[in-house]
Structure 1
């Protein structure tokens, strides 16, 4: 890996590749669909081959979309590895194995019996499902990666050059900004007071969350600043994305955000399996409180929104049995709105932490006065890409209905890239997670901090804040 002073490092390569994907996708503005070949993995019941489909090139068969995605993404990544002076041949060999193993894992997780939520059972023609969403494939990838890394260490070592979870997730975050820009524009069309309440809720919740988690990790579990900051961001702001951004801002060792990310994935699944049913039982008369709670408590975008969808289906079904028929979509809208503001907060918080660490904790510059140049040198460049793609799509979608429709189409296409890079992130996190080394680094104590803070504090404060801002608000009644 190149040093921070080199022309390119992983941070800058992530910005370059993420922005390249985004710029090529903008070809839709002049009628050129240059990214419609990217593979998307959907639910399947009997034949896993039917899960693969091209994003918009409907004439391209699923297997063709998969192979073309592999070839083009590998070429992009090989250029990036060349720029940071890595071994391109070793990278391509390892990346080929990682890509197809990860796709296999995601395809398994996308089986309808695993992925379908209660609103999708009839469409899939199945009587039951675990309801984990297709993001269950990320968990399968993580588990398989862990098995590879710990049971076959020599094989894992052969993949080392291609095991770059930080690079993969940073590219995904740059791309994710475009998707969130579209969602933010959608939210702008809803009642303004819901948007305002969602913004107030996340500011109040996450300033409390971060400080308390950081304090608990430092005071009671004796973690140093390098560990406590990414852990606080991962638990309090938005899981993997926040942990990676914080790690970049404070220049933590790669193992730090990787270990936090592993915990985020596991606990997101646990929350998805529990919280929607708790909300149905106790918050059925406060549906928007339930929706906000999912956004504040569940730590991944897909997991939170899936939890909001499950919560909505459970609450609407229960209230329909009592003769109250609310319009669908509002509970999920509140979940999504809260989550959008949380995601935007990642970039803001990364800049704040870059400033604090440069001014207060970084001793490498001696006693001279800190400048904003020092802050920007530490600030993770990929977050600039995330903010840039977010703002471009937001302003584009707010400009006119036609551009809004085009922006949605563009975002839907490149979302396939985000999923693929997140998938490879989780698989390679598993591969590099050597349990013996993780125990030496203290993963057991990390998990205890996570459990104590999440279930002892964050979930309940999130519920209180959701209630404070959304109490008494209900969706419109159908036909009312």
Structure 2
């Protein structure tokens, strides 16, 4: 992975912190977007409430606001603003359709959230139609989900972090260590190459896409192999996100245990948030805290991987760009976590309760919107056929075996700690 790619990734995280902070500051200053209505029970309510001119105007106001924020983000991370401006209206329209579908009485009775519909709509389109390259390049999945996560910090009060954070860190250490070594062992048994083994092990054990990217940067991994690992992460996250909350409900796990299980098992942060949302507020907060505890370990893991890769049998990595240093930890640390923590501290100790009540609905609405936009984008950029060719079978088997182990070991640790 080139140095420019590493800088771009770092720049994206700082961009997210800036944009998320801007949205929060605007809300506190009194710039509150009206919240559209999406709930409906009958076709008459759908027509009179959801599709009314007043409600459509609220959706339009949201569109303009998010278009501008996302456009600034695209500019800051070096993406084509023109392609973003052309592609975003489609992403937004599909997301609105998903929100309307999720607002139906039937969907609510099944506890189906908008992110599931967003994902499914995107997957149907991407797997049955060939998308133009300009549209694919306009998608900003990571930007959307990370902005949503910064906004999520406004609803996570610091006392909750103090209560669950230490347990989350203990779980993260136990899970990351055991799952990483098991995944690496399975890869070796199946004769998966070293680069792919390192990326799979990190992706399964730490935090999915971010860990795979960080590992690829530490070992100068093949971008095609990285893309394949990311595809596995995204596709396996889909059934986990949907079925794990159902399993937790069936076995009557507490929200604390369920949140810890989801946060420690599901590889993508956005899917953790979506699955936590399906369970409840407590599960959402615990799952996010546990996932962030794993994210904190990302820099340390990248440092350890770079040490291993530099001083073992990989002479191609022995140059000044990959020599391990303290800077590696800071370079690989996911900066958007700072935005989440900052928002949590702000609403825990600075913002008055009255102001919190005033702004929370608007911020929560925007938080959900960013997540839904992210999952529409994930669906649009995911193609199932990438996982079903002869060359990809062994890495896929290794990933699935490691992920299964991850699910069970994390559940056991969550039951003990929470």
> What TM-score bracket applies, with the shorter chain setting the length?
0.7 to 0.9
Name the residue aligned to 2:123: 143
CA RMSD in angstroms, aligned pairs only: 4.0
Distance 1:392 1:290, change over 3 A: closer
Could you say what secondary structure the match of 2:94 adopts? Answer: helix
Higher helix share: 2
Output the TM-score relative to the length of structure 1.
0.68
Residues 319-365 of structure 1: CA distance to partner in whole angstroms, max 9, x if unpaired?
xxxxxxxxxxxxx63x3454233222243122123323443436456
Secondary structure of the residue aligned to 1:33 is: coil
Instruction: Tell me how far apart the structure 2 counterparts of residues 443 and 20 of structure 1 sit (CA, whole Å).
Output: 38
- Change in 2 beyond 3 A, CA 1:448/1:422: farther
2:129 corresponds to: 152
- 2:341 paired with 1:379: no
Number of the residue aligned with 2:369: 420
1:295 Cα shift? 5.2
User: Structure 1 63/21 Cα, relative in aligned 2: closer, same or farther at 3 Å?
Assistant: farther
The structural deviation recorded for 1:63 is: 1.4
TM (normalized to structure 2)? 0.76
**1:94-173 equivalences in 2 (<5 Å):** 94-114=87-107, 116=108, 129-147=109-127, 151-153=128-130, 155-157=131-133, 159-162=135-138, 164=139, 167-173=140-146
How many aligned residue pairs are there?
398
Q: Is the Cα–Cα contact under 8 Å of residues 175 and 389 in structure 1 kept in the other structure?
A: no
Which sits farther off after the overlay, 364-373 or 64-73?
364-373
The structure showing larger relative contact order (alpha-carbon pairs under 8 Å, at least 6 residues apart) is: 2
Aligned counterparts, 1:60-459, within 5 A? 61-83=54-76, 86-114=79-107, 116=108, 129-147=109-127, 151-153=128-130, 155-157=131-133, 159-162=135-138, 164=139, 167-180=140-153, 182-187=155-160, 196-197=166-167, 199-216=169-186, 218-224=187-193, 226-229=195-198, 231-237=200-206, 242-250=207-215, 251=217, 253=223, 255=227, 256-277=229-250, 279-280=251-252, 292-293=260-261, 296-297=264-265, 300-306=271-277, 308-309=279-280, 333=282, 335-336=283-284, 338-361=286-309, 363=316, 366=319, 369-376=323-330, 378-379=331-332, 383-384=334-335, 386-399=336-349, 403=352, 406=355, 410=359, 413-440=362-389, 445=394, 448-455=397-404, 457-459=405-407
In 2, the alpha carbon distance for the partners of 1:84 and 1:297 equals 30
Contact persistence 1:22–1:175 (CA under 8 A): no
Q: Which residue of 1 aligns with 2:313?
A: none
Aligned partners of 2:17 and 2:339 also within 8 Å: no
Contact 2:148/2:371, CA 8 A, preserved across alignment? no
Q: Tell me, which stretches of 5 or more residues in structure 2 are unaligned?
A: 311-315
Residues 156-187 of structure 1: CA deviation (Å, up to 9, x unaligned):
4452331x3xx432442244134246424252
Give the C-alpha shift of residue 224 in structure 1: 4.2
CA deviation string 1:283-338 (max 9, x = no partner): 6xx886566545555663334434544xxxxxxxxxxxxxxxxxxxxxx63x3454
Quote how far apart the aligned CAs of 1:209 are. Answer: 2.8
Work out whether residues 145 and 428 of structure 1, in 8 Å CA contact, stay in contact via their aligned partners in 2.
Answer: no
- Does the aligned pair in 2 maintain the 1:188–1:195 contact within 8 Å? yes
Larger radius of gyration: 1
Unaligned runs of 5+ in 1: 54-59, 117-128, 310-331, 471-480
CA distance in 1 between counterparts of 2:137 and 2:3 reads: 19
Q: CA deviation at 1:264?
A: 0.6
The 10-residue stretch of structure 1 (40-49 or 389-398) with the greater mean CA deviation from structure 2: 40-49
